[in-house]
A and B are shown apart, each in its own frame.
Chain A
Amino acid sequence: MLGNLSVSLWRGGKDGRYESYHVPRRASQTVLDVVTFVQRHIDPTLSYRFACRVGVCGSCAMTVNGKPRWTCRTHVAKVAGSGRLEIGPLENLPVIKDLATDMEAFFEKWQKAQGVFAPSKTRHEEIEQIRPDSPARRLADAAIECINCGVCYAACDTVRWNQDYLGPAALTRAWTLLNDQRDAGGAARLQAVAAPGGCHSCHSHQSCQELCPQALNPTAAIAGLKRRTTAAYLKGEIKA
């Protein structure tokens, strides 16, 4: 027995409050394990979201001791050296209840940034050969492992200040697709990310790349979008 953790969990909606619980400390315990213990052994009405528990689905992100993290892969020993944990819903998203946020705006912005692959060929055409070591493919691959967890969106100051800002995840997705040689939606995508609330709103604070659980670098992707859109604007390919 390793003793008890003192855990504060956000309860209720927007006007809720933190409530304290004591959870037994265990070896290799994750933050998600702590939340699950409370729900299964102390208060079954606790609401939170998770699915895979192994860092693939991106659904369990929460604010842990002030920072957004994927809770299933965040060990208590890493973030609660003092033995205290404060776990809340993600910032910059409306709270549904307790630790569950409404992700609708986050995913709508993916659509707004034209984050959907636009095929350039039909199934009847020959499959295009893509060299994995080509410069464009390397840029596309750099952020292909985004799991849509919302950590970068919750960490972003610009999202907090500007509700129209598309956010790091949607813009990084747009950058990935712009560099995908098989995609045909580049022109509309450039126009979408150059609109007000697009890539030019980013202040390069870099909280997204500091906290991204997949160690991606959205700031670099957004910088790429800024360069690409500026060149297109100066050539008259996109409108202001």
Chain B
Amino acid sequence: MTMRLYVWQRATAALMVPLVIIHIAVIFYASRKGMTAADILSRTRGSVVWASYYGLFVAAASIHAAIGVRNVLTEWSSLYDRRAGLFAIVFGLLLAALGVRAVYAVVLS
């Protein structure tokens, strides 16, 4: 692992610590309050705060997971750095696309 990838992976991990805690707290809150999908969407639609929060979460998770997958591939498969890196970039972009789609559905649709 290069120094640059190490710093990006640790930085995104540190960023996700509060994001995950808030995410889980929101899940508990919504389920304990018995909120329906319509209740939740009425609060999230058009919200810049929720769009920013989950947008940041998606970006951090995509970068963090892609670097991790690259490491797994270089250590556990026969792929060398370059090919593993390409695979990891594609994987990260796929995660980002799925995440952005979910954020769009909850905030903008």
Contacts and interface: CB of A to CB of B under 8 A. Distances in A.
A200 interface: yes
B72 to A, nearest CB: 10
Interface residues of A, number: 16
A230 B4 contact: no
SS of A interface (majority): helix
Interface string A109-140: 00000000000000000000000000000000
Contacts of A239: 3
A239 B7 CA distance: 12
B10 to A, nearest CB: 7
Given A196-B1, A201-B1, A240-B2, A234 B74 contact: no
Given A230-B7, A233-B7, A196 B75 contact: no
Q: How large is the interface on B (under 10, 10 to 19, 20 to 34, 35 or more residues)?
A: 10 to 19
A201 B76 CA distance: 13
A78 B99 CA distance: 54
Given A230-B6, A230-B10, A233-B7, A200 B75 contact: no
Nearest to B4: A240
A71 interface: no
Nearest to B81: A196
Contacts of B6: 200, 226, 230
Interface in B48-65: none
Interface of A: 158, 161-162, 194-196, 200-201, 226, 229-230, 233-234, 238-240
